[in-house]
Amino acid sequence: MKTIIKLFCLFIVSLGSAQEIDKSLYAFDFKMEHMPIPERTKLFSDLGYSGITLRVQSDKQRKNLKDYLNTNEFVSGKLDIPVVFFGFNFSNNIESQNKMWRKTLAALPDKTSLWVIINGDATKENTLTLLKDMAKEGQKLGKDIVIYPHDNCFIESAEDAIPYIEELNEPNLYLTFHLCHELRAGNGNRLLEVGIKAAPYLKFASISGSNTTMLENDKGNWSDAIQPLDKGDYDIKRFVTVLQKINFKGKTFLHTFGVEDEPQDHLSRSIAKWQTMVADSNQTLNKNISHILDNPESAFWDPISKTWFISNLGGEKVTLEKDAYGWITRLDENGKVISNRWIDGLDAPTGMASYQNLLYVADRGFLLEINISKGKIIRKIAIENSEFLNDVAADKDGNIYVSDTFTNTIYTLPKNKSIEVFVKNGKLEYPNGLWVDGRNLIIATWGPMTNRATFETSRKGTLMKINLKSKKIKPVGKGLPIANFDGIVKYGNYYYATDWTGGRLLKINKKGKVKQILSGFSQFADVGIDTNKGILMIPEMSKNRFIKVNLK
């Protein structure tokens, strides 16, 4: 057999759309005291900025806010102030500061939020009390309160702020995502992970040029952390890409603290860099399959809609977290993208199967039922006590089968009935891929797992079969250890299964005899097949691409 493979990892035409952030840019007004406020606003407007932010804490600063709002640019609506910042220091007079933030909150124009930085002798208890008081007062005035994580303050990073927002559960309490402070918190190499966690609460973000010295909290100074966007050796495009990937819809600010260059000079350079980065990042996320996909786990061909579906775990790593950052990408029969995120907001979707116009997807703790024509989830079927729902298969009568790898369980959703346990047996040795072959359910096993964190096994997996009527379990062939199997399909008289750890595609006959078809890949995941054309599609998770194999 001559096997033809195609690697889909280059630029392709995309009919779907990636996540796009607001292309407008706002700026802090640091180091501009030598310029009258009308000159500042004209400069911001002429350079293409959408507005500014400033500290508003004292009576003098509240006057500055008023002066800004009275300039032509603000009166005409060319510029805006989406938020101002206020530092609350628990080491200072509490009563006085409470009066100040209330005065500031009352002085804010419509749709302007209050950023709050918390420092001094703060504790969890007094911080919760302060944020709750601010949120309640904000609700009376129609204002949002936004936590401003800041280096060497009580709340230093976005992750530190999330527990306070979740505990208080106030509808007007939000969070901001500062590149400079995340770098100083040591999060330079895990921005997407932090962004995914913070995404439900984000209202603002700030960006600045920076050096890689900021990847460690104990190195560098503020001149390393905050520079014009065209300076510094840290790739700040990574931050822009994160904002787009997490579907950030808030306002982004240029941080200018400590920048010594003349404002007109550095502000003009920064906005030019910003506009280029946003355009380039959007182009990449829309057109490059390796960015559209993110840890693709399963490929599935639906013969009725004549489309391929690819499930994505998301998060740039193998993750099973319930983070609402997983999605399904939809492709046409030639592998071109129809929709980047056809169904999103999933946790960690894995295997798929279809029956008539319904697509069934395994997610964390749920079997999803999706109407393909409408592109909508119509049912989330909870599977209690499941730990790692993995692959899905459907028989000719519309009965659905789901593997739960960690619990050695196969669940079934009989047509027009409720989900139930089909087989639960240690003989399944961590079942992964499923395929209905006549009267049998074929199972590609991972192998007895010794470490769930690393997926290590005491021996390799094999192929098993379960009689759909008697539920008897037998090996395919002698049941010898073969591979850490992921997906399995059948074409002609042979099974084709992927070896995830070995990066191989294997051809196996009914007696269990194995032939290697492809090798040298990395993390070959759940294979799909167009049985009419003999086309396999195999996601290669670590490379964010898929391999098409023509068996004919």
CATH number for position 535: 2.120.10.30
Q: What is the pTM assigned to this prediction?
A: 0.88
Extract long-range pairs of 483-486: CB within 8 Å, 24+ residues apart.
Answer: 484/446, 484/447, 484/455, 484/457, 484/460, 485/432, 485/433, 485/444, 485/445, 485/446, 485/461, 486/432, 486/433, 486/444, 486/446, 486/524, 486/525, 486/526, 486/527
- Residue 223 is predicted with a pLDDT of 75
Note whether 275 and 337 are same-domain residues: no
Q: Are 506 and 490 in contact (CB under 8 A)?
A: no
Q: Which two tokens stand for residue 32?
A: 């501009």
**Per-residue pLDDT of the chain in tens (552 residues, 90 and over written 9):** 455 555 554 323 333 445 677 899 999 999 999 999 999 999 999 999 999 999 999 999 999 999 999 999 999 999 999 999 999 999 999 999 999 999 999 999 999 999 999 999 999 999 999 999 999 999 999 999 999 999 999 999 999 999 999 999 999 999 999 999 999 998 999 999 999 999 999 999 999 999 877 665 555 577 788 999 999 999 999 999 999 999 999 999 999 999 999 999 999 999 999 999 998 888 788 778 888 999 999 999 999 999 999 999 999 888 788 899 999 999 999 999 999 999 999 999 999 999 999 999 999 999 999 999 999 999 999 999 999 999 999 999 999 999 999 999 999 999 889 999 999 999 999 999 999 999 999 999 999 999 998 999 999 999 999 999 999 999 999 999 999 999 999 999 999 999 999 999 999 999 999 999 999 999 999 999 999 999 999 999 999 999 999 998
Say whether both 416 and 304 belong to one domain: yes
Residues 167 and 226 in one domain: yes
pLDDT at 68: 98
pLDDT of residue 318: 80
Task: Check whether residue 347 and residue 272 sit in a common domain.
Answer: no
> Residue 54's closest CA among 87, 23, 21?
87
259 and 305 both lie in a single domain: no
Domain boundary, last residue among 287, 321, 356: 287
Structurally, the chain folds into a number of domains equal to 2
What torsion do the CA atoms of 14, 282, 234, 261 make, to the nearest 10 degrees? 160
Six token digits for residue 156:
């230093």
Q: Is the residue at 203 inside a domain?
A: yes
Q: Are residues 467 and 452 in the same domain?
A: yes
Residue 363 placed within a domain: yes
Same domain, 176 and 247: yes
Q: Are residues 391 and 493 in the same domain?
A: yes
| CB contact burial 374-394 (16+ within 10 A = b; e otherwise) | eeebeeebebeebebbbbbbb
Q: Which of 249, 268, 287 is the last residue of a domain?
A: 287
Query: Which residues constitute the domain of residue 146?
Result: 26-287
Is residue 11, in this structure, part of any structural domain at all? no
Q: Are residues 242 and 101 in the same domain?
A: yes
* Residue 16 pLDDT: 42
The reply to whether 178 and 203 lie within a common domain is yes
Please give the Cα distance from 138 to 112 (Å, whole number). 11
Kindly state whether residues 49 and 186 are assigned to the same domain.
Answer: yes
